[in-house]
Amino acid sequence: GGEKGEEALGGEDDTGGGWGGDDLEGLEGLEGGGGGDGWGIDMDDLDLPSASPGQRSSANVGGGFFAPPTMGTSATLRWQQASSVPGEHVAAGSFNQAMELLNRQAGVVSFAPLKPIFLSVYMGAQAVVSGTPGAPFIDSAMHRNNDNYSWSARGTDGLPAVCVSVAALTDRIKSGYKAFTEGKLKEAGEIFIATLQSVTVACVDSKSDLDELREHMSVCREYITAVLLESTRREKFKEDPTRNMELAAYLTHCNLQPLHLLISLRSAMSSAVKVKNFNTAASFCRRLMELNPKAEHKEQALKVLKVCDTNRTNEIDLTYDERNPFVVCTKSFKPIYRGQPMCRCGFCGGTFATDYKGQLCAICQVGEIGLKGSGLINSRQQRGKAAQTADDFDMDE
């Protein structure tokens, strides 16, 4: 009976022709396998709850797409984009751009002396905050206007915290004054040179601070010149009375503090008497008396003046004319009188004979002699491309 049954079914895999096989010609009008009316399926009679707008369809579970938010602009990148102040680029870590700006604005060509200054400014503008155990550290940019800066899609409008400030430079200059008073010329020179070089990355936010910064540059330039004159006089021209006397005389024309000018006049007065240039010594005595010195110094100057008045002669001829205004070239250590050609350092403004154009400045040691820049920018509020003077400043104080 079993065999007959198998024969009747046509075998396990043999589908009878009664099922139509692969012949689908009669199904062309059916869509989606809904079945005919004979099945009695009516979808309109079903009472299905409607899906809430926030409810995800079960058909889409696992197929969603997450779009992360667009990364914003970092503070350091925004500092670079919004500023042409070299110090702010240094704070952002953009050393190459800062060097390009310094070269274009101030004629700076030697950057090796500025490396420790750059590193100090960069590290001072960054902070690292520890997170939870095992999590990476979080870098945080430091701003000098913490009270009034904000963030937007474009980044921050905050100003980077720069450790070189006017107050810090003022303290350094005071240390330089002290060393100069004590006769520590090497130490004084190092302090004033470092202070002058630090101006390259200084950042200010008011006209008064910019005025003071420019004044600091002038002070450093004058004192470095004085240190170079006195050091060269002691070391190089110790056995040359003429040059020794000339450099002592030039030193008295540097723009120094009254106490330091008095010291230089006493030194020049003593040197002039030693070489028997009494006329020159008498001039130093009179200038010294105008500074209202101590009683003992005044008494000494009066004695020298009395001797000079009785001997109105000069034993040696000097390249020195006190009545004709001049500046000193710190390469040749010779005067450049008014009207004579000269060139200046693009950064510090030091004066030199035209023979030294293209060489490294002996005062700031970073600028090129004769390379004129557009002007160092120390504030975002300076008008135009740049300005060396505080007159080009656009800010409401």
Per-residue pLDDT at 185 exceeds 60: yes
- Tell me the C-alpha to C-alpha distance, in Å, between residue 318 and each of 200, 207, 240, 305: 38, 44, 12, 20
How many angstroms separate the first and last alpha carbons of the chain?
A: 114
CB 381 within 8 A of CB 205: yes
pTM of the prediction?
A: 0.77
Question: Lowest mean pLDDT: which of 47-56, 158-167, 179-188?
Answer: 47-56
d(CA 277, CA 300): 17
Per-residue pLDDT at 175 exceeds 80: yes
d(CA 66, CA 75): 27
Handedness of CA 280, 283, 287, 293 (dihedral sign): positive
Q: Which long-range contacts (CB under 8 A, 24 or more apart) does 65-73 make?
A: 70/153, 72/151, 72/153, 72/155, 73/153, 73/154, 73/155, 73/156
pLDDT score of 390: 40
pLDDT score of 210: 94
pLDDT score of 382: 78
d(CA 215, CA 16): 110
Which residue bears the tokens 């010294």?
Answer: 288
Tokens (6 digits) for 113 = 């002396």
Per-residue pLDDT at 232 exceeds 80: yes
pLDDT score of 37: 60
| pLDDT digit string, tens, across residues 318-367 | 999 999 999 999 999 999 999 999 999 999 999 999 999 999 999 999 99
Per-residue pLDDT at 39 exceeds 60: no
pLDDT score of 49: 65
| pLDDT digit string, tens, across residues 52-86 | 555 555 555 555 777 777 766 777 788 788 788 99
- What amino acid is encoded at 276 in this protein? K
Tokens (6 digits) for 328 = 């000193």
Q: Any idea what DSSP says for residue 68?
A: P
pLDDT score of 366: 97
d(CA 103, CA 380): 18
Cα-trace Rg, the chain: 42
Question: Lowest mean pLDDT: which of 20-24, 90-94, 199-203, 231-235?
Answer: 20-24
Which residue bears the tokens 């005071």?
Answer: 174
d(CA 158, CA 276): 64
- Tell me the C-alpha to C-alpha distance, in Å, between residue 117 and each of 46, 96, 98, 275, 300: 80, 14, 12, 45, 46
Considering the chain, what is the average pLDDT of its residues? 83
Per-residue pLDDT at 122 exceeds 70: yes
pLDDT score of 192: 98
